[in-house]
A = this chain, B = another copy of it.
Amino acid sequence: MTNLIIRGGTVVNHDHSHPADVLIDGETIVAIGTAIDAPTGAQTIDAGGCYVMPGGIDPHTHLEMPFMGTVTADDFEWGTKAALAGGTTMVVDFCLPDPGQSMLAAYQDWRRKSEKAASDYGFHMAVTSWSKQVFDEMEIVVKTYGINTFKHFMAYKGALMVNDDELYNSFARCAHLGAMPLVHAENGDVVARMQEALLGRGVTGPEGHAYSRPPEVEGEATNRAIMIADMTGAPLYVVHTSCREAHEAIARARAGGKRVYGEPLIQHLLLDAGEYQNKSWNHAAQRVMSPPFRDKSHQDSLWAGLQSGSLQVVATDHCAFTTDQKRLGVGDFRKIPNGTGGLEDRMPLLWTAGVTTGRLTKEEFVAVTSSNIARILNVYPRKGRIAVGSDADVVVWDPSASKTISAKKQMSRIDYNVFEGFSCTGGPAVTLSRGKIAWKDGELRAEKGDGKYVERPPFSPV
């Protein structure tokens, strides 16, 4: 077993910071303190002037995912390498059964694809239809596969979308199994009709994508999912909360004592709908995702949610398509593959726009990038905390590091970056993944296959 000691930094957890050294034995943190005797031969990492934080967790990625007739360009290898380069040590990906495919088979497919992962990872399982088989398999997914979260799409009509009756059934099943339902919240019926109307009026470009799914359709669906979860007694996690309307639905529910969580993406915190007006079709199409970027006025609401605790997690929905893939949608915005990247950039961007501006404390930064989602996913404090006994997923964060984001230098396999040219202050000097140095001095040391699958136990059933 190798020993490793991080000296001279300030340990930052979601609820407290203090100067301390951190001693790692193998994959685990074994001591935290101010005068630790390191075992002979222990490797030392100098964290002077740095923060020693739990590695980031990104609970929303789509690696090597078949979607809209193509496959996302970043697989588990390159997606997780991007993650590690940006301080993120665990991702949670969405396991999507094909139409008619059993969840069990889908799980096997995803496990196979994920063997390449360089960082730790877990899965959410998608419920894309309802049947006795689905009902039965959910129990196996929870109890045998260690998956305690089920994803539901309220949009993508004719493909992944489920209706209210199906949501009710699945949420009730989640409540029974001690699992947490997740929703992609947009009203798919309305989106489909508005897409039709726009195309009927001759709007075919990427801007039509944004017009066809305004904040109102997300706010409505969020409000609806919350009600249905409440009726079944299940908690609810709303992925990619992008707008004031959706945030307010969540905040209202929480103010009524309901257990509802919201996840803004780093994209929605920083980018706005003006991108879709770019004269370059490619530029605009590269930014097509659902929900689309919003008017700038929504960003204040999301930031305030992170500050006040009505939103809990910042994710990426990393779902990378190359420009070539995006061009499948020339002439019909409905065919542009939905998705953008962000795994490598989430933490530096959030630090820059959140912490250096005074919006978030460094403890809150840890909360929304790591600890909160670890708690929500029931893997805390194994993940999400610098504590004795925790996995040694650690990022040594240098607040004075600076970097300009550029597709040319990124891990991701795609040919552009939606944050191209953004300047970041603060970034990972070192990333440790279960005690192994995965990233240091601007160089990736993690290797394909270093990652492990993380099982997550269910909550107490309701």
Binding site for B on A (CB under 8 A): 14-16, 33, 163-165, 168-169, 172, 187, 189-190, 192-194, 214, 216-217, 219-220, 223-224, 227-228, 230-231, 251, 254-257, 259, 297, 300, 303-305, 307-310, 359, 371, 375, 380-381, 385, 388-389
Contact = CB atoms under 8 A, between A and B. Distances in A.
A245 to B, nearest CB: 9
Nearest to A168: B193
A380 B15 CA distance: 9
Contact of A193 (B169, B305, B371): B169
B164 A190 contact: yes
A33 B31 CA distance: 13
15 contacts: A15-B15, A15-B375, A16-B380, A165-B189, A169-B193, A172-B193, A187-B228, A194-B231, A216-B230, A220-B227, A251-B255, A257-B304, A257-B308, A297-B297, A308-B309
A16 B217 contact: no
A217 B227 CA distance: 7
A216 B193 contact: no
Contacts of A388: 388
Nearest to A256: B304
Contacts of A172: 193
A223 B310 CA distance: 20
Contacts of A165: 189, 192-193
B231 A227 contact: no
Nearest to A245: B227
B307 A309 contact: no
A14 B385 CA distance: 13
Contacts of A169: 193
A199 to B, nearest CB: 15
From A15, A168, A223, A371, residue with most partner B Cβ within 10 Å = A15
A370 to B, nearest CB: 12
Contacts of A216: 227, 230-231
Given A14-B15, A187-B164, A220-B223, A257 B307 contact: yes
Contacts of A389: 33
